[in-house]
Amino acid sequence: MSDPRPIGVFDSGVGGLTVLRELQRQLPAESTIYFADLGHFPYGPRFQGQVRQFSLRIIRFLEELDVKLVVIACNTATAAALNAARETFDIPIVGVITPGAQAAVQATRNKKIAVISTEGTKQSGEYLHAIKEANPTIGVLPLAAPGLVELVERGQAQSPEAEAALRATLAEIIEYAPDTLILGCTHYPLLRPLIQKVTEGKMTIVDSAHTTAARVARVLAANGLAAANEPARHQIYVTGSPDQFLQTAHILFENALPPIQTVSLELVEQMGSREAVG
């Protein structure tokens, strides 16, 4: 049995495209709809309640497009909204925090893991809880990395400014000497070459794109939702101006970037203001 309906994926900007790219690599038969909430970018500094509201409205929008599963491809939104979304919607919803945390627990040998993330994700404590749930004996150093998301969105992931920001952020982590570093924001994989340079390749770097895609594959298979034999179709929706988004998106997808359609925040809010969002 085949289910050709698309998988919905969303983030505040380009970061979730790292998850989308991995989904398309691991699940080439699956169609996707990606939603970038550029009109509310960035999520990291916002209050959790506000991010939760944005997320529930986006999921309702995606549900109206008949997606069969939603991936919250944003650590901040996963921390703020995953539990509420699962209580609100009947479709399967997958976040990016638990898969990344479990991969790091499996990778570490000295039982010391560091996490860099947005301030919102750090304050939520979700990575700490997920790691400790998997193995209570592992030490965790969570740090916020302000400014990195904006640099990635501006297409400056390999710039001197990005390297300077990373050196400042990673100094405390290098002193802590973990053997595993979680990139706790889906924007951060675009910084991987600089992170490897600054850490001198001494840490296993974990981002959640690979493990999240693998989790999606298992959920689809377990629930008879996988697609087969139909041609995959891909679409991107954005709120706000897509200009900067396009610059970085083309780096990730080159000529395979899906078509982009702009939608108004008013439309998303209207569709998301139904009784399920409350």
Token pair, residue 149, equals 């998301």
19, 59, 170, 185: the active-site residue: 185
Q: Are 71 and 216 in contact (CB under 8 A)?
A: yes
74, 104, 114, 216: the active-site residue: 74
Residues 30 and 226: their CA atoms lie apart, in Å, by 7
Which whole-number Å values give the CA distances from 19 to 25, 27, 190, in the listed order? 10, 12, 12
185 is catalytic: yes
**What kind and span of H or E run contains 69?**
strand 69-72
At how many degrees (to 10) do helices 265-272 and 48-64 cross? 90
34 is catalytic: no
Q: What are phi and psi of 82, to 5 degrees?
A: -60, -50
- Residue whose tokens read 């990291």: 44
Which residues are designated catalytic?
A: 74, 185
